[in-house]
């Protein structure tokens, strides 16, 4: 009888044109979401961070998740997306890799206007299909904090950074890491080696060994799977800061902290919008404050002073009272890139086209 009364009350509310939102009367609509990874879901890095978020939305009411890993950034991803839509009935697709966007997501979004495509990487712009959401986070906030901790830990004052490609997102992380370290000691340098692609385990190992040979005693990276870099640093007796997900288990002695994604936040927001019939935004961003990114717990070698400095900077970031890119800043060729009195908040679109390395970075684009 109680259930019957609830039903009748709900039906009456609808009949009378009640202002109650539709989703408060009926359960969330059934939704199938497809998630596509460029690598293995258990890579201790980029793909694992995305897979952790997929695991969260699997537990949401009326949500089914279909996944496919090791899908290259070729026409293969178009076939995977189409199969999820046509065979599984997916109406929300998470295309998680940077290279999936053009032309693959663009083509599929035009072909399936009633499907929402969520792409990780920040590439959507006016004129692209309106059923695309570009989601990304201000993880350079965490890389700055990595730098603060690394700056305190380093004895050689030489840090190492293994990077995949010199695209704006990677350069922004290298620069933030360096500026964080230089807030501790302006003489600190960051030595960068680019491997050329997102997953190059042999080159990543070679780069990590080369950086240690050059005297770098703290390593970090921006590659899809940080496992090789972190393990190599540990074997060589160097310290490390992680990226994408926590790699603390791989380096029990040298792991200091890490910059982690918390993709469950944008994933959940997008699922909620699609289920409730709302139109998701084309651009979805957030940092520490919004819960898009987070820090790994501090390792045993992190000093109380380092924790104090990093925690203070983090608190200002969460409060919206801290800018990483505040002039004067020169690039590593001596040119002024941010003038005195000029600053760029995290939301400034200018930062998404960064094309320089700051002073103190040893390396070239």
Residues 82-110 have a mean pLDDT of 97
Q: Where are the domains of the chain?
A: 30-138+263-286, 140-260+295-362
Q: What is the pLDDT of residue 121?
A: 87
**Is residue 129 over pLDDT 60?**
yes
Residues 339-364 have a mean pLDDT of 95
Predicted confidence band of residue 349 (pLDDT cuts 50, 70, 90)? confident
- Three-class secondary structure assignment of 42-68: CCCCHHHHHHHHHHHHCCCCCEEEEEE
Q: What is the pLDDT of residue 1?
A: 32
Q: How far is CA 196 from the centre of its chain?
A: 19
Counting runs of H as helices and runs of E as strands, what totals does the chain give? 11, 17
Residues 303-314 have a mean pLDDT of 98
In this structure, which long-range contacts are made by residues 343-349, counting pairs with CB atoms below 8 Å and at least 24 apart in sequence?
346/138, 346/140, 346/141, 346/285, 346/287, 347/285
Tens digits of residue pLDDT in 250-306: 999 999 999 999 999 999 999 999 999 999 999 999 999 999 999 999 999 999 999
Tens digits of residue pLDDT in 212-245: 999 999 999 999 999 999 999 999 999 999 999 9
Work out the number of other CB atoms within 10 angstroms of the CB of residue 113: 10
Residues 83-103 have a mean pLDDT of 97
Name the pTM for this structure: 0.87
C-alpha span between 77 and 348 (Å, rounded) = 31
Percentage, residues of the chain above pLDDT 70: 92
Q: Does domain 140-260+295-362 have CATH number 3.40.50.2300?
A: yes
Q: What is the pLDDT of residue 123?
A: 82
Cβ-contact 335, 346 below 8 angstroms:
no
Which segments of 209-362 are extended strands (E)? 218-222, 239-244, 255-261, 283-286, 293-295, 325-326, 329-330, 336-338, 343-344, 361-362
Helical packing angle, 140-153 and 304-318, nearest 10°: 160
Q: Do domains 30-138+263-286 and 140-260+295-362 have the same CATH topology?
A: yes
Q: What is the pLDDT of residue 171?
A: 98
Q: How far is CA 360 from the centre of its chain?
A: 25
Cβ-contact 229, 214 below 8 angstroms:
no
Q: What is the pLDDT of residue 27?
A: 55
Give the three-state DSSP class for 37.
coil
**Is residue 17 over pLDDT 90?**
no
Residues 79-100 have a mean pLDDT of 97
Residue with tokens 């005297």: 215
C-alpha span between 302 and 281 (Å, rounded) = 39
Q: What is the pLDDT of residue 4?
A: 33
Average pLDDT score over the chain? 92
Q: Minimum mean pLDDT among 26-35, 80-89, 269-278: which range?
A: 26-35
The single-letter DSSP state of residue 263 is T
Cβ-contact 154, 184 below 8 angstroms:
no
C-alpha span between 115 and 107 (Å, rounded) = 12
- 30-138+263-286 — its CATH code? 3.40.50.2300
C-alpha span between 141 and 137 (Å, rounded) = 9
Beta bridge partners of 261: 293
C-alpha span between 335 and 332 (Å, rounded) = 7
Q: What is the pLDDT of residue 25?
A: 34
Of 148, 142, 177, nearest in space to 163 by CA: 177
**Is residue 16 over pLDDT 80?**
no
Within 8 A by CB and 6+ apart from 76, the residues are: none
């Amino acid at each position: 009888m109680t259930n019957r009364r609830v039903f009748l009350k709900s039906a009456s509310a609808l009949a009378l044109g009640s202002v109650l939102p539709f989703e408060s009367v009926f359960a969330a609509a059934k939704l199938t979401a497809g998630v596509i990874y460029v690598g293995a879901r258990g890579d201790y890095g980029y793909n694992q961070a995305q897979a952790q978020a997929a695991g969260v939305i699997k537990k949401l009411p009326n949500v089914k998740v279909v996944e496919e890993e090791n899908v290259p950034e070729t026409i293969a991803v178009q076939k995977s997306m189409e199969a999820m839509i046509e065979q599984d009935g997916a109406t929300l697709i998470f295309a998680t890799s940077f290279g999936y966007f053009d032309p693959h997501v663009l083509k599929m979004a035009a072909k399936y206007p009633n499907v929402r495509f969520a792409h990780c990487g920040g590439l959507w712009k006016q004129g692209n299909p309106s059923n695309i959401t570009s989601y990304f986070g201000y993880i350079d906030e965490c890389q700055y904090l990595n730098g603060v901790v690394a700056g305190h830990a380093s004895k050689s004052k030489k840090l190492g950074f293994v990077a995949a490609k010199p695209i704006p997102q990677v350069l922004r992380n290298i620069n933030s890491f360096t500026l964080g370290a230089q807030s501790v000691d302006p003489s600190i340098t960051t030595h960068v080696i680019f491997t050329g692609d997102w997953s190059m385990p042999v080159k990543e190992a070679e780069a990590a060994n080369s950086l240690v040979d050059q005297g770098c005693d703290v390593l970090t990276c921006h590659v899809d799977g940080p496992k090789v870099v972190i393990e190599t640093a540990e074997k060589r007796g160097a310290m490390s800061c992680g990226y994408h997900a926590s790699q603390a288990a791989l380096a029990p002695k040298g792991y200091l902290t890490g910059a982690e994604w918390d993709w469950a936040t944008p994933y959940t927001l997008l699922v909620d919008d699609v289920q409730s019939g709302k139109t998701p935004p084309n651009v979805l961003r957030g940092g520490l404050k919004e819960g898009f990114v987070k820090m790994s717990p501090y390792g045993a070698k992190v000093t109380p002073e380092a924790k104090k400095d990093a925690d203070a900077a983090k608190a200002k970031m969460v409060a919206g009272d801290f800018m990483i890119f505040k002039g004067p800043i020169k690039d590593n060729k001596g040119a002024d890139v941010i003038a005195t009195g000029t600053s760029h908040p995290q939301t400034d679109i200018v930062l998404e086209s960064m094309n320089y390395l700051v002073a103190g970075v040893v390396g070239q684009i």
